[in-house]
């Protein structure tokens, strides 16, 4: 964002005069007179509600407010003023307006306002009708308890140039109830029509309705009693809704109503703690935070649709407003099947009491759902994470950051290091902050296991944080879970990790990460099919987890189940359809790996280059591969230049540098001098990595590749063999299989064709090597050029070719 731009959350009001254009054609002088009077009246009203006039567009106003409530109050006052004015005026001299209000993100630039908040408000205004006010669901949610007005829910509306249909509400103005006894028919959200009834008809209808409800309750109770006494009369429900557990819920992201938008992280933390408390109740089914993060406030929420997507009967919504040392938290429980509000509570407390509020909300919701709480679960819910609000906010910032990290795109290493600093600050403020120590151990483990810092110092830092957590709460399920992650990710101690996960699961019955890690363990032990099955089962607890679906697709790619991988990628991209970079390109890898077709990937990269160049760093490695696969050396050169100092690509634990990529390109072009210069530079950097990460196979394997390219045959073969010894299959089947495949390349580059073909034949049946030894890579990539033309190699390639060269 440039220096002259400012992004903020604001309420936007659009007004428009009814019939002005037609009047201008009939009587231009009268039209101009009414326009000026309309502008004078409205400009007197705007300041009374802290409205800022941004601009006029002909007969329309664009006005910004600091809150949805002020915008709605201003709109009502405008319509009240005009209703009084029009009461005794001839129809052709009346001033009638349509008003639309929405709250959302806007950007101030050059004296104007842009963004979805503006676009949606402008599209809502025409729906209001003459003399009416139409608001979005986001506005209605914020003002319904603060404004003495009735809201009429309209049909879900498709707005021009707005991708998602919106739930809109019309504010029923007080004078309309009496003056407009027979309003024109208006569509409800179900597309039916209604008319306004006189008050005596309304009263009669209400009394009749009360009588019917009473009779219905009596009938249902009588019938339920009969069925309870005669089980043979009851039958199982056949609808899909009946399959949704009654005690199931999802805690949606809370809305940050604080004036300081930096409190977003604090709000995230409040929501996450409430979710975590509820997830400890075994009698409930609670959806993971990774699946609810996408339903951020600011975008329209269709609660019934969200409930169906997540497979739950209930949703929790809320908001947090923080000012100085005070906090207001509002929470409500909604039946997602019929939009009924079952429970709501507002908590106005001192800021330090926010942790008690989180516990109270969790217990209140559990009570409403009649969930059974064991004494241990009740104690867990009542346990506060920390007594330090600032430490809690630092922890929430770090956790939000790590939850948003994906393996595709972005700067994973930088985000992890930033999270570490936040967590260190949190535990410095509160040395008894158990959850922060657990998270700190996890982030250290990720830096270590991802290969960014596979050093003894990083491992020691993870173990120190884990030790602090275990000292504070040795029997906590979170401690056992943190230890399980450490044993798996850092130490590859599968047996120990599985034992710790079993203990953790008793206190964390709804934590989807536990079965997810079990799936990864099984997969890494070499049972790829079983690991995939376990990961697919996790989707019942975490159905909208983008990264989980991506991992499922990776497993399917490794197993060469390309049609299934394509389906999984498509499902993940339905969750995040606006992805323009790295994750989006993965869908094209199905064509590349499975069918030897580089065109879809190349077209995707070209779209990113043209349409969203800011996302280009996420696909530079794919751009480079496109150049190599199509022998388009100019494109490969451009991709290398765009990479800058970033790694060329990572294949599991194998990380190849930009200098290595330059050497590979020069080798494919038969430019021996340039290839040698590039590989010499690559070797200097790689040898340093090997020295820093001793006894770690993947960097040594890369060094073997470089030495093979430089003609250091004996050193290359020795390094490749040692890499395989350091990471045997029984220790890590997944990465061991990848190294086996790369050792086949080392042997090929070293001139040992027989050894290379032997290793390649051994790697082909292994699931973990399925991408690097896929049909597309063997057919297209220059790694395997030394083997081309050898009948044994061509037979291997043919043996894994799909039935059709393309789906």
DSSP calls for 304-325: HHHHHHHT-SEEEEEEEEEETT
Residues 403 and 318 grouped into a single domain: no
Q: Which has the closest alpha carbon to 11: 107, 139, 98? A: 139
Q: What's the rounded Cα separation, in Å, for the pair 66 and 103? A: 9
Helix, strand, or coil here: 493? Answer: coil
CA triple 470-472-473, angle to 5 deg: 65
Residues 395 and 375 grouped into a single domain: no
CATH of the domain at 415: 1.25.40
Query: Residue 550 falls within a domain, yes or no?
Result: yes
Residues 338 and 287 grouped into a single domain: yes
Could you say which DSSP state residue 651 is in? E
pLDDT in tens, 130-142: 899 999 888 888 8
Q: Which has the closest alpha carbon to 337: 271, 242, 252, 255? A: 242
Residues 154 and 277 grouped into a single domain: no
pTM for this predicted structure: 0.67
Query: Residue 25 falls within a domain, yes or no?
Result: yes
Instruction: Name every residue whose Cβ is closer than 8 Å to that of residue 386 and which is 6 or more positions away in sequence.
Output: 355, 392, 395, 426, 430, 432, 433, 435, 436
Select from 536, 554, 575 the last residue of a domain. Answer: 575
Query: Residue 779 falls within a domain, yes or no?
Result: no
29, two tokens = 């002088």
Instruction: Name every residue whose Cβ is closer than 8 Å to that of residue 15 and which is 6 or more positions away in sequence.
Output: 42, 60, 61, 63, 78, 97, 98, 99, 125
Select from 313, 348, 383 the last residue of a domain. Answer: 383
Say yes or no to pLDDT of 649 above 80. no
The terminus-to-terminus CA distance of the chain in angstroms comes to 43
Residues 181 and 292 grouped into a single domain: no
Q: What's the rounded Cα separation, in Å, for the pair 675 and 177? A: 83
pLDDT in tens, 306-365: 999 999 999 999 999 998 889 999 999 999 998 888 888 889 999 989 999 999 999 999
Mean pLDDT over 355-379 rounds to: 93
Domains contained in the chain, number: 4
Residues 379 and 389 grouped into a single domain: no
Say yes or no to pLDDT of 766 above 80. no
Instruction: Name every residue whose Cβ is closer than 8 Å to that of residue 355 and which is 6 or more positions away in sequence.
Output: 273, 384, 385, 386, 387, 392
pLDDT in tens, 255-277: 888 877 778 889 999 999 999 99
13, 18, 24, 27: CA torsion to nearest 10: -130
Residues 280 and 428 grouped into a single domain: no
**Which carries the bigger pLDDT value, residue 621 or residue 709?**
709
Burial class (CB within 10 angstroms; exposed 0-12, middle 13-18, buried 19+) of 371: middle
| Helix-, strand-, coil-residue percentages of the chain, each rounded to 5 | 60, 15, 25
CATH of the domain at 38: 3.30.70.1230
- 427 near 437, Cβ under 8 Å? yes
Helix, strand, or coil here: 135? Answer: strand
Helix, strand, or coil here: 654? Answer: strand
Q: What's the rounded Cα separation, in Å, for the pair 78 and 16? A: 12
Select from 383, 403, 434 the last residue of a domain. Answer: 383
Query: Residue 669 falls within a domain, yes or no?
Result: no
Say yes or no to pLDDT of 388 above 50. yes
Mean pLDDT over 104-123 rounds to: 81
Residues 74 and 94 grouped into a single domain: yes
Query: Residue 727 falls within a domain, yes or no?
Result: no
Q: What's the rounded Cα separation, in Å, for the pair 506 and 519? A: 18
Residues 467 and 565 grouped into a single domain: no
Query: Residue 222 falls within a domain, yes or no?
Result: no
Q: Quote the domain boundaries for residue 30.
A: 5-199
Q: Given the structure tokens 């879970």, which residue do they identify?
A: 481
Q: What's the rounded Cα separation, in Å, for the pair 377 and 357? A: 17
**Which carries the bigger pLDDT value, residue 607 or residue 181?**
607
Residues 373 and 248 grouped into a single domain: yes
pLDDT in tens, 475-498: 999 999 999 999 999 999 999 999
Query: Residue 420 falls within a domain, yes or no?
Result: yes
Q: What's the rounded Cα separation, in Å, for the pair 325 and 21? A: 53
Q: What's the rounded Cα separation, in Å, for the pair 358 and 736? A: 46
Confidence of residue 158 (pLDDT cuts 50, 70, 90): low
CATH of the domain at 323: 3.40.50.10610
Mean pLDDT over 458-470 rounds to: 97
Query: Residue 793 falls within a domain, yes or no?
Result: no
Q: Given the structure tokens 């309420």, which residue do they identify?
A: 11
Task: Give the DSSP H or E segment for 328.
Answer: strand 326-335
Residues 279 and 306 grouped into a single domain: yes
Residues 118 and 162 grouped into a single domain: yes
Say yes or no to pLDDT of 706 above 60. yes
CA contacts within 13 A on the Cβ side of 491: 16
């Amino acid at each position: 964002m440039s220096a002259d731009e400012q992004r903020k959350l604001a309420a936007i009001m659009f007004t428009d005069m009814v019939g002005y254009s037609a009047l201008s054609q009939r009587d231009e002088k009268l039209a101009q007179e009414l326009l000026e009077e309309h502008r004078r009246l409205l400009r007197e009203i705007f300041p009374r509600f802290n409205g800022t006039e941004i601009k006029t567009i002909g007969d329309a106003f664009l006005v910004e407010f600091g809150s949805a409530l002020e915008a709605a109050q201003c709109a009502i006052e405008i319509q009240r003023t005009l209703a009084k004015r029009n009461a005794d005026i001839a129809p052709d001299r009346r001033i009638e307006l349509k008003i639309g209000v929405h709250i959302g993100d806007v950007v101030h630039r050059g004296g104007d306002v842009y963004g979805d908040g503006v676009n949606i408000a402008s599209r809502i205004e025409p729906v209001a009708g003459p003399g009416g006010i139409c608001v979005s669901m986001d506005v209605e949610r914020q003002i319904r308890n603060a404004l003495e007005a009735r809201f009429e829910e309209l049909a879900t509306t498709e707005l021009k140039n707005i991708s998602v249909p919106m739930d809109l509400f019309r504010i029923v103005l007080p004078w309309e109830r009496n003056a407009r006894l027979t309003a024109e028919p208006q569509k409800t959200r179900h597309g039916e029509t209604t008319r306004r009834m006189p008050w005596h008809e309304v009263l009669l209808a209400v009394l009749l309705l009360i009588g019917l409800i009473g009779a219905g309750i009596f009938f249902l109770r009588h019938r339920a009693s009969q069925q309870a006494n005669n089980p043979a009369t009851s039958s199982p429900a056949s609808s899909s809704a009946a399959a949704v557990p009654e005690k199931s819920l999802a805690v949606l992201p809370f809305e940050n109503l604080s004036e300081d938008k930096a409190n977003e992280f604090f709000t995230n933390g409040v929501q996450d703690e409430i979710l975590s408390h509820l997830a400890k109740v075994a009698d409930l089914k609670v959806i993971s935070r990774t699946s609810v993060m996408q339903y951020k406030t600011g975008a329209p929420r269709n609660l019934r649709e969200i409930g169906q997507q997540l497979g739950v009967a209930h949703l929790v919504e809320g908001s947090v407003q923080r000012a100085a040392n005070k906090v207001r938290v509002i929470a409500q429980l909604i039946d997602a099947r019929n939009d009924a509000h079952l429970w709501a509570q507002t908590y106005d407390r001192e800021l330090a009491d926010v942790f008690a509020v989180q516990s109270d909300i969790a217990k209140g919701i559990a009570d409403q759902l009649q969930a059974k709480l064991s004494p241990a679960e009740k104690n867990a819910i009542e346990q506060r994470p920390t007594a330090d609000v600032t430490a809690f906010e630092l922890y929430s910032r770090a956790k939000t950051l790590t939850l948003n990290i994906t393996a595709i795109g972005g700067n994973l290493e930088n985000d992890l290091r930033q999270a570490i600093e936040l967590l260190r600050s949190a535990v410095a403020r509160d040395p008894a902050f158990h959850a922060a120590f657990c998270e700190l151990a996890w982030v250290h483990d990720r830096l270590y296991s991802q290969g960014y810092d596979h050093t003894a110092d990083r491992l020691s830092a993870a173990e120190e944080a884990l030790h602090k957590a275990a000292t504070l709460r040795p029997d906590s399920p979170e401690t056992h879970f943190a230890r399980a992650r450490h044993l798996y990710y850092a130490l590859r101690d599968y047996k120990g990790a599985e034992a710790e996960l079993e203990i953790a699961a008793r206190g964390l019955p709804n934590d989807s990460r536990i079965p997810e890690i079990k799936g990864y363990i099984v997969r890494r032990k070499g049972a790829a099919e079983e690991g995939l099955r376990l990961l697919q089962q996790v989707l019942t607890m975490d159905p909208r987890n983008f990264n989980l679906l991506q991992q499922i697709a990776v497993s399917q790619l490794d197993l060469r189940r390309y049609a299934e991988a394509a389906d999984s990628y498509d499902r993940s991209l339905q969750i995040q359809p606006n992805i323009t970079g790295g994750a989006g390109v993965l869908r094209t890898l199905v064509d590349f790996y499975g069918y030897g077709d580089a065109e879809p990937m190349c077209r995707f990269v070209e779209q990113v280059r043209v349409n969203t160049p800011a996302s280009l760093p996420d696909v530079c490695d794919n751009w480079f591969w496109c150049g190599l696969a199509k022998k388009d050396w100019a494109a490969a050169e451009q991709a290398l230049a765009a990479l800058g100092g970033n790694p060329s690509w990572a294949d599991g634990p194998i990380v190849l540098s930009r200098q290595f990529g330059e050497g590979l390109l020069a080798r494919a072009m038969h430019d021996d001098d340039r290839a040698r210069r590039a590989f010499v530079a690559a070797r200097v950097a790689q040898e340093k990595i090997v020295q820093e990460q001793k006894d770690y196979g993947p960097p040594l394997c890369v060094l073997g590749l470089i030495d093979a390219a430089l003609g250091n045959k004996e050193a290359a073969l020795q390094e490749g063999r040692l890499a395989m010894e350091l990471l045997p299959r029984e220790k890590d089947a997944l990465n061991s299989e990848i190294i086996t495949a790369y050792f086949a390349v080392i042997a090929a580059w070293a001139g040992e064709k027989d050894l290379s073909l032997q290793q390649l034949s051994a790697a082909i049946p292994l699931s973990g090597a399925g991408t690097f030894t896929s049909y597309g890579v063997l057919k297209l990539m220059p790694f395997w050029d030394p083997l081309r033309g050898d009948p044994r190699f061509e037979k291997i390639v043919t043996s894994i070719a799909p039935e059709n060269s393309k789906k």
